[in-house]
Amino acid sequence: SYNKTVFPEDFLWGGAIAANQVEGAYLEGGKGLTTVDLLPTGKERFPIMLGNIDTFKPKEGVYYPSHQAIDFYHNYKEDIALFAEMGFKSFRLSIAWSRIFPTGEEETPNEEGLQFYDDVFDELLKYGIEPVVTTCHFDVPVHLVEKYGSWKSRTMVELYEKYTRTIFERYKNKVKYWMTFNEINMLLHLPFIGAGITFNEGEDKNQVLYQAAHHQLVGSALAVKACHEIIPDAKIGCMLAAGMTYPYSCNPEDVWAAMDKDRESFFFIDVQSRGEYPGYAKRFFEDHNLNIKMELGDEQILKDNTVDYIGFSYYASRCTSTDPEVLENQTDGNVFASVSNPYLKASEWGWTIDPKGLRITANQLHDRYQKPLFIVENGLGAVDVVKEDGSIEDDYRIDYLKQHFIEMAEAIKDGVNIIGYTSWGPIDIVSASTGEMKKRYGYIYVDRDNEGNGTLKRLKKKSFDWYKQVIQTNGLNI
């Protein structure tokens, strides 16, 4: 505890969600089908996220959690009122591309979709809550996947530029914090959810993924350019799924392996923040015989349009080794493959819990980019139990957050410029990796289960009042 808060006066405490995990109303208001609308729960989900899909239509009799989600589309006023009650300074959400351009290719945008987000932003601004908007959070209009193979195709750059220019123009007086692609590095790990990528037989996966990455990176730079032109007083950032890879031992082979692993992710941010392909990426392309097609002018676009801040999610650290025996206990519980770290515990879903890792990651990103940082996701996915009197005592969640806030404060004391913190899923939402409702992050409980049963009623958990007083004291009462 501290006598004086270390958090800046205008620190953006809040929460973060993504359209497809909360809105539901998947075909209402003129919305088109989006990639996530094709993801069921259960064991069928993972192979599709990896890019193996047999149809672009929802199947009869299969339950798709995004179709109704927690019905934020109809409940946003009540939900935002609860966020305001907690004293949120900011709220991160994403716009569903297919609400604005249902197929991705319309001449003119869908007014009903535009109006929906206008209403949401007005509601936030009514309470003085700053909207922080991701232009693309794990969703691509399905039509673009079918017709072009999504980000495999250069055509996506133009369509994405048109979409982002449309939303910058429309919301220029309401939204001052933007982010281009959520967890852009997820493209390498879960290509379908990350970027709508599916694979054809015989395709070289790395070639496909890095070509798609180039298209997203150029798209991201063009969005930065457009945002700066259209909203000169806005800040636009990138978004990294962060968390360091530790070497399992001090064997230099392990240390190098860990560094090499982290570069798979830094690659994206190095381009978005430093404005050019790093040397190690060029070497990787050569070593793997990859031929990334670039157009004349791409390099200049990347160079001229770097991001204003580094947004990142932090849930876990990872660990790697070169020792085959150690590697035997590698799991992908963290989505990213990892050897389990003997010093740390994991969540019920196998995600390593490492509060100090947040301080390490924040310092590392600060050293590397020298730009403001925004922690736009963090939290504990856990099973909650509603007692008979309706109370939910989620002390494990409070404990997780508390430990992370202490390390965030340490990072600020280290001189790292952190401008805000939005915890993931301040209200329970559909899990991105599993499609479950059972994996809850919220301060607010939602009565809905993995099969879609429940009243959708909202209940405050114990952590609700706890987070409220953290914000009220600007982090003094952690």
From the list 377, 393, 436, 451, the catalytic residue is 377
Place of tokens 């660990």: 319
Candidates 64-72, 160-168, 394-402, 425-433; binding stretch for ligand BG6 (CB under 6 A): 425-433
**241 near ligand BG6 (CB under 6 A):** yes
The residue within the footprint of ligand BG6, chosen from 37, 130, 183, 384 (CB under 6 A), is 183
Per rule CB under 6 A, count of chain residues that contact ligand BG6: 15
The residue within the footprint of ligand BG6, chosen from 110, 164, 245, 313 (CB under 6 A), is 313
Per-residue binding string, ligand BG6, 123-152, x by CB under 6 A, is: ---------------x--------------
Tokens of 402: 């508390």
State how far the Cα of 276 lies from the Cα of 278, in Å rounded to an integer: 6
State how far the Cα of 50 lies from the Cα of 67, in Å rounded to an integer: 21
Q: What does the DSSP 8-state code read for residue 141?
A: B
Instruction: Characterize 159-195 residue by residue with b for buried, 16 or more Cβ atoms within 10 angstroms of its Cβ, and e for exposed.
Output: bbbbbbbbbbebbeebbbbbbbbbbbbbbbbbbbbbb
377 annotated active-site: yes
State how far the Cα of 199 lies from the Cα of 333, in Å rounded to an integer: 24
Nearest-approach distance from CB 433 to ligand BG6, in angstroms: 3
Contact of 242 with 316, CB cutoff 8 Å: no
The residue within the footprint of ligand BG6, chosen from 170, 404, 439, 448 (CB under 6 A), is 439
Cβ closest to ligand BG6, residue 231 vs residue 427: 427
Nearest-approach distance from CB 434 to ligand BG6, in angstroms: 6
Nearest-approach distance from CB 194 to ligand BG6, in angstroms: 9
Candidates 68-76, 169-177, 320-328, 429-437; binding stretch for ligand BG6 (CB under 6 A): 429-437
Nearest-approach distance from CB 157 to ligand BG6, in angstroms: 23
383: CB partners within 8 A, 6+ apart: 348, 438, 439, 440
With residue 360 as reference, give the H or E element that holds it.
Answer: helix 355-369
Q: Three-class SS of residue 33?
A: coil
Candidates 199-207, 213-221, 262-270, 426-434; binding stretch for ligand BG6 (CB under 6 A): 426-434
**433 near ligand BG6 (CB under 6 A):** yes
Tokens of 116: 């929906």
Closest CB to ligand BG6: residue number: 433
- Dihedrals phi, psi of 92, to nearest 5 degrees: -95, 130
Cβ closest to ligand BG6, residue 216 vs residue 434: 434
Nearest-approach distance from CB 312 to ligand BG6, in angstroms: 10
State how far the Cα of 381 lies from the Cα of 23, in Å rounded to an integer: 19
Cβ closest to ligand BG6, residue 245 vs residue 305: 245
173: CB partners within 8 A, 6+ apart: none
Q: C-alpha angle with apex 329: 314 to 434, nearest 5 degrees?
A: 50
Cβ closest to ligand BG6, residue 138 vs residue 163: 138
The residue within the footprint of ligand BG6, chosen from 160, 424, 443, 445 (CB under 6 A), is 424
61: CB partners within 8 A, 6+ apart: none
Tokens of 425: 């899923």
**182 near ligand BG6 (CB under 6 A):** yes
Interface with ligand BG6 in residues 55-114 (CB under 6 A): none
Cα–Cα distance list, 154 to 160, 192, 218, 229, 268 (Å): 10, 17, 10, 23, 18
Cβ closest to ligand BG6, residue 113 vs residue 435: 435
The residue within the footprint of ligand BG6, chosen from 340, 431, 450, 463 (CB under 6 A), is 431
Q: Closest Cα to residue 102, out of 199, 37, 151, 16?
A: 37
With residue 237 as reference, give the H or E element that holds it.
Answer: strand 235-241
Cβ closest to ligand BG6, residue 95 vs residue 432: 432
**18 near ligand BG6 (CB under 6 A):** yes
Cβ closest to ligand BG6, residue 167 vs residue 380: 380
State how far the Cα of 92 lies from the Cα of 136, in Å rounded to an integer: 12
How, if at all, do strands 130-136 and 12-16 pair?
unpaired
Candidates 66-74, 165-173, 428-436, 451-459; binding stretch for ligand BG6 (CB under 6 A): 428-436
Interface with ligand BG6 in residues 353-382 (CB under 6 A): 377, 381
- Determine what percent of the chain falls in helix, strand and coil, rounding each to the nearest 5: 45, 15, 40
Nearest-approach distance from CB 417 to ligand BG6, in angstroms: 23
Contact of 201 with 56, CB cutoff 8 Å: no
Cβ closest to ligand BG6, residue 254 vs residue 354: 354
Cβ closest to ligand BG6, residue 21 vs residue 422: 21
Tally of CB atoms within 10 A around 64 = 20
Nearest-approach distance from CB 328 to ligand BG6, in angstroms: 25
**432 near ligand BG6 (CB under 6 A):** yes
Indicate the residue type of 189: H
The residues that touch ligand BG6, with contacts defined as CB under 6 A, are: 18, 21, 138, 182-183, 241, 313, 377, 381, 424, 431-434, 439
Catalytic positions, please?
A: 377
